[in-house]
Amino acid sequence: MLQSQLFTKTRREDPKDEVAKNAKLLIRGGFIAKSLAGVYVLLPLGLRVLDKISQIIREEMNKIGGQELRLATLQDPAVWQASGRWSDEVVDNWFKTKLKNDTELGLGFTHEEPLAKLMIDHIQSYRDLPVYVYQIQTKFRNEVRAKSGILRGREFLMKDLYSFNVDQAGLDTFYEKAKVAYRRVFDRVGIGAQTFLTFASGGTFSKYSHEFQAICSAGEDIIYLSRDKEIAINDEVYRPEVLAELGLDEKELSKETAIEVGNIFKLGTKYAEALGLTYVNEAGERVSVVMGSYGLGVTRLFGTIAELCGTDTGINWPDNVAPFAIHLIMLGNDEVVTTKAKTIYEELSAKNIEVLFDDRVAGAGEKFGDADLIGIPHRLVISVKTLANNSVEWFNRGVGKTELVALDEVLNRAVNI
């Protein structure tokens, strides 16, 4: 992509109405724009990052047997009344709206109920199970607090997967697979080292649910972490008997502030019973389907990466989620420079390498400042000076190393990053 065609502008100053680091940096780099409190627009650069995160999640969900679909956002109250979750006393963050004829509708904040209902038409016998479905979809929640930038939005992207099994054993097996898939997602998006499986409250069906918590000062949760055992306990279940049960000693735990990036739950037959989702087992009996739900905040993950990889000058994107692989910058507009830069841009593009080419007529200070804000992992500079050495200046942002690379080596290197 030619940077001269990118309509978004970077900003040197922090936006006045933001307190969260992720929002400040993402707005300054031209990744997102604020629409209203808790509601953000994804600009082209931001959408590229979000799509990469989504694609990694998609691949990992597909690997464990997930089938992607997309449920409706507008929700029929009847489906939620069946489980008791339509009431504002039970669920305090519903957005509700009305048809012209005054019929009430809701905007989906999660999707257990409508999916359990949908599955009635598709699951009849034990032969139809297991089924694992997921979606990557916009959720709406009327959150009281919206000060954490895209970490807590009123409109946000979530991946939600739901498992349907014949029994508890099937659920348990899949649940463990989901944990592994989540681990792979966090590793691939570059926050694996800071993200820990965390025991949280489980509700009625299982003793615990599990969260994935990324250690970060911007988080809203407190967890107690054992770095040796690579597990943590959410403060909501931090009690002597829980420690004993998990074989943890208070002394080995450190108290940390963290961001809940994912949450997995064993639901049992709660929603299946409420909606009437049953199947006929091998013995010919009609029994309820056993469910699980597996949430992952896609926009929250985006914000978490920005928090963890952000500096005073911009965001150092991990390779796998960076908006582009290479930021090619030409300095000055001497013809030798522009011609060579264009050639390199075309050669790299021909190899399907994602390049943002700063072909603008602008000063070095502005170009470097923008490159820092956008944070593409590899910055290649071509100038009269580098061409005098028959090379480009190659800055690897991740390792903080700059070197001269011979012109005829650039393509080969770029293919292998």
Residues that bind ligand ATP (CB under 6 A): 110, 141, 143, 152-153, 156, 158, 260-263, 295-297, 299-300
Of 262 and 377, nearer to ligand ATP (C-beta) is 262
Angle at the Cα of 26 from the Cα atoms of 41 and 142, rounded to 5 degrees? 45
297's contact among ligand ATP, Mg ion, none, with CB below 5 to 8 A by partner kind, is ligand ATP
CB of 295 to ligand ATP, least distance (A): 3
CB of 354 to ligand ATP, least distance (A): 27
Task: Please identify the residue of the shown chain whose CB is closest to the bound ligand ATP.
Answer: 297
Of 160 and 393, nearer to ligand ATP (C-beta) is 160
Nearest-angstrom CA–CA distance, 80 and 113: 6
Nearest-angstrom CA–CA distance, 385 and 396: 19
Of 259 and 341, nearer to Mg ion (C-beta) is 259
Q: How far is residue 354 CA from its own chain's centroid? A: 21
Of 143 and 359, nearer to Mg ion (C-beta) is 143
CB of 137 to ligand ATP, least distance (A): 11
Whether 209 contacts 270, CB under 8 Å? no
300's contact among ligand ATP, Mg ion, none, with CB below 5 to 8 A by partner kind, is ligand ATP
Whether 397 contacts 316, CB under 8 Å? yes
Of 190 and 262, nearer to Mg ion (C-beta) is 262
- Interface map 237-266 toward Mg ion (x if CB under 5 A): -----------------------x------
DSSP per-residue string spanning 397-409: TTTTEEEEEEHHH
Q: 25 Cβ partners below 8 Å, 6+ apart?
A: 306, 310, 314, 315, 373
292's contact among ligand ATP, Mg ion, none, with CB below 5 to 8 A by partner kind, is none
Walk across the sheet containing 401-406 and list its strands: 355-358, 326-330, 378-382, 391-396, 401-406
CB of 143 to ligand ATP, least distance (A): 5
Nearest to 344 by CA among 397, 383, 375: 383
Binding site for Mg ion (CB under 5 A): 260
